[in-house]
Amino acid sequence: MPTLPSEDLAFAPAHQLLASLEKREVTSRELVDIYLERIGRIDPMLNSVITLDADRARAEADQADRARAGGGAELGPLHGLPITTKDSYETQGMRSSCGREDLAHYVPTQDAEAVARLRKAGAVIMGKTNMPPGNQDVQADNSLFGPTNNPWDRSRTSGGSAGGGAVATAAGLTAFDFGSEIGGSTRIPSHFVGLYGHKATYRAISLVGHLVPGPGVNRWSEPDLACAGAQVRDARDLVPILEATTGALKRDGGFRFELAPPRATRLKDFRVAVWYEDPDCPIDADVTSAMRSAFTELEKGGATVDVHPAAIPVTIAESHRTFQPLLFSQLGIDRSGMTPAFGASMMARIAQNPRGDALKALRGTFLSHHAWMEADARRQEMRERWTRFFDSYDIVLMPVSPTAAPPHHGKVLDKFGRRFEVDGRQRPYWDQVKWCGVANIAGTPATTIPTGHGAVSGLPIGIQAMGPSGGDLTTIEFAALLGEKLGGYQRPS
């Protein structure tokens, strides 16, 4: 019998569950049964897990338990741990819809590269989590499965695109969720529900078999800007996940990729730039308070802290001017959603605001190769600036998004007509991704850190730590240390 009550096991950090499995205080089958029971009982209110393979999960858990009991065999770093993955990854024998109607019945015959590595590391994949069609929204809602609800307030969004995974992890329905992002898709939902969420260094984890733009010949491509990531209840859970999934592909020959060790292991040894004021993307009172609380704790902990240093190498406006065309150029490869209704919606928005995001998105979708190369040149120059910046700093601490989770927005199609409020003022809905886009353009790792709940909203607030390229273990170590000071993950009430 497990040494902890099932409720405590469901919410335990992944690294603690792995330790309990190793000590044989609990079996993989017991954990799978705990999570499956909770999914059946709780998830109808949340709508986070949209595909399950319970029989296969139980069978694989039993196999993992037999392998552990038999001894002798080398076990992977995630051996026997029940997890979920975002529905954008191909999973052999399990529906992988990517939130798209045209993939509603798509059952891959092979795993995505990252999924295969998770299985090789011993993870038991129970099911898939909800997302918007083709990863293209800041909420997890689609015509196949409907919206995912925030466990802290079901009238609020989970965020997106990895909203289903964030909610499943926060609600104790999985040990962790393995996701992906192209503009904050792991970090924004983690901020909205109170988790640690990590965006890996660009290309550190293969996205072969990730369903953007879709299955088939494009399966072997590595999408621009996009990165793998994960959502967890404890920052140090991210370490074995990265151990299992990072590395070059066989086709890369002798090329090797290794993450650098953390630059520091004590808060007082970190050099931190704090950046949270930018006129192009204002933040509300709750996020401002969270940022100020964080740098107060850093100063108490003895870290070297510079607030809004002149050395910050970009502005939000400059970063977004390059991020936006590259983003929509990549997303525009998938033309499956370009229905007449979508076209009519876009044209209506352009007519209302000829200089707005709808026109910029349309231009990015049909970007010429020459224009793409110009945008890429700007990106590479910004990356060089960030590389020099991280000679003097280990971390830049900044907001994830301007506010806590906004209310659901039911119009899945109308992406460019939406607004949300920042301290009572209407802002474009896509402002939610601007702070996150900085790390996507830079290709650097970034980790969301839960800070507690906002005094005004009463909802979870996260901030993010961005570090140097290849410095994933630096941002994770920093997030773990600062998160302990700020309260870390809390169970939804």
Does residue 377 sit within a domain?
A: yes
- If pLDDT is split at 50, 70 and 90, which confidence band does 219 have? confident
pLDDT of 354 > 70? The answer is no
Residues 462 and 291: their CA atoms lie apart, in Å, by 9
Assess if residue 260 is contained within a domain.
no
pLDDT (tens digit, 9 = 90+) per residue, 262-302?
999 999 999 999 999 999 999 999 999 999 999 999 999 99
Q: Is 336's pLDDT higher than 60?
A: no
pLDDT of residue 476: 99
* Nearest-angstrom CA–CA distance, 461 and 463: 7
pLDDT value for 493: 81
pLDDT at 357 over 90: no
In this predicted structure, what is the pLDDT of residue 3?
74
- pLDDT at residue number 28: 99
Residue 8 has pLDDT above 80, yes or no: yes
Better pLDDT: 257 or 226: 226
Domain boundary among 252, 287, 318: 252
In a domain, 330, yes or no: yes
192 and 309 share a domain? Answer: no
Whether 257 is covered by a domain: the verdict is no
248 burial via Cβ count (<10 Å: 0-12, 13-18, 19+): middle
Residue 355 CB neighbour total at 10 angstroms: 8
pLDDT band at 220 (very low <50, low <70, confident <90, very high): confident
Residue 215 near residue 106 (C-beta atoms within 8 A):
yes
Residues 222 and 314 occupy one common structural domain: no
Flag whether pLDDT at 331 surpasses 90: no
Closest CA to 470 of 182, 246, 260: 260
Same domain, 48 and 130: yes
* CA atoms of 102 and 214, how far apart (whole Å): 10
- At residue 350, the pLDDT reads 61
Which is more confident, 222 or 305?
305
Q: What is the pLDDT of residues 144-175, one digit of tens each?
A: 999 999 999 999 999 999 999 999 999 999 99
From 201, 223, 252, give the residue that closes a domain. Answer: 252
For the stretch 362-416, pLDDT in tens is: 676 778 899 899 999 999 999 999 999 999 999 999 999 999 999 998 765 566 7
How many domains is the chain built from? Answer: 2
Verify that 152 and 188 share a domain, yes or no: yes
Q: Is residue 492 part of a domain?
A: no
pTM: 0.95
Note the pLDDT of residue 256: 78
Lookup: tokens for 181: 């992002």
- The band of 347, judged by pLDDT with boundaries at 50, 70 and 90, is low
- So what's the pLDDT on residue 478? 99
Q: Please check the confidence at residue 338 and state whether its pLDDT lies above 60.
A: no
Contact 44, 52 (CB under 8 A): no
Question: What span, in angstroms and rounded, lies between the C-alpha atoms of 404 and 189?
Answer: 10
Asked whether residue 35 falls in the same domain as residue 163, the answer is: yes
pLDDT at residue 411 in the model: 66
Confidence of residue 349 (pLDDT cuts 50, 70, 90): low
Same domain, 280 and 224: no
Percent of the chain past pLDDT 90, that is, above it, reads: 81
Residue 33 shares a structural domain with residue 162: yes
Range of the domain at 465: 271-486
pLDDT of 45 > 70? The answer is yes
CATH number at residue 107: 3.90.1300.10
Do the domain assignments include residue 378? Answer: yes
> According to the model, what pLDDT value does residue 290 have?
99
Q: pLDDT-based confidence at 258, cuts 50/70/90? A: confident
**Residue-level pLDDT at 358:** 62
What mean pLDDT is reported for the chain?
93
Per-residue pLDDT, 464 = 99
| Residue 138 belongs to a domain | yes
Question: What is the Cα–Cα distance from 485 to 493, expressed in whole angstroms?
Answer: 21
Kindly state the greatest CA–CA separation across the chain.
68
For position 292, what pLDDT does the model report? Answer: 98
Distance of CA 411 to the CA centre of its chain: 23
Indicate if 366 and 478 belong to the same structural domain.
Answer: yes
Which residues make Cβ contacts (< 8 Å) with residue 236, sequence separation at least 6?
Answer: 13, 15, 476, 480
Alpha carbons 138 and 119: distance in angstroms, whole number: 29
Three-state SS sequence of the chain: CCCCCHHHHHHCCHHHHHHHHHCCCCCHHHHHHHHHHHHHHHHHHHCCEEEECHHHHHHHHHHHHHHHHHCCCCCCCCCCCEEEEECCECECCECCCCCCHHHCCCCCCCCCHHHHHHHHCCCEEEEEECCCHHHCCCCCCCCCCCCCEECCEEEEECCCCCHHHHHHHHCCCCCCEEEEECCCCCHHHHHHHCCEEEECCCCCECCCCECCCCCCHHHHCCCCCCEEEEEECCHHHHHHHHHHHECCCHHHCCCCCCCCCCCCCCHHHCEEEECCCCCCCCCCHHHHHHHHHHHHHHHHCCCEEEECCCCCCCCHHHHHHHHHHHHHHHHCCCCCCCCHHHHHHHHHHHHHCCCCHHHHHHHHHCCCHHHHHHHHHHHHHHHHHHHHHCCCCCEEEEECCCCCCCECCCCCCCCCCCEEEECCEEEEHHHHHHHHHHHHHHCCCEEEEEEEECCCCCCEEEEEEECCCCCHHHHHHHHHHHHHHHCCCCCCC
Q: Tell me what the mean pLDDT of segment 60-78 comes to.
A: 94
Mean pLDDT of 438-461: 99
pLDDT of residue 71: 83
And the tokens for 259?
């993450």
- The span from the first CA to the last CA of the chain, in angstroms, equals 27
For 158, list phi and psi in degrees, rounded to 5.
-80, -15
**Residue 424, CA distances (Å) to 281, 283, 403, 406, 493 in order:** 14, 11, 11, 12, 27
d(CA 211, CA 366): 20
Q: Which residue has the higher pLDDT, 123 or 343?
A: 123
pLDDT band at 182 (very low <50, low <70, confident <90, very high): very high
- Output the pLDDT for position 465: 99
CA–CA distance, 267 with 477 (Å, rounded to integer): 9
Q: Are residues 181 and 44 in the same domain?
A: yes
What is the rounded average pLDDT of the residues 428-440?
96
Q: Which pair of tokens denotes residue 277?
A: 């004021």
Instruction: Based on the fold, state whether residues 446 and 327 are members of the same structural domain.
Output: yes
**Domain co-membership, 317 together with 420:** yes
Q: With beta carbons less than 8 A apart as the criterion, state whether 294 and 272 touch.
A: no
**Structure confidence at residue 213 (pLDDT):** 64
Residue 230: predicted pLDDT: 99
Residues 338 and 204 in one domain: no
Look at residue 263 and tell me if it is in a domain.
no
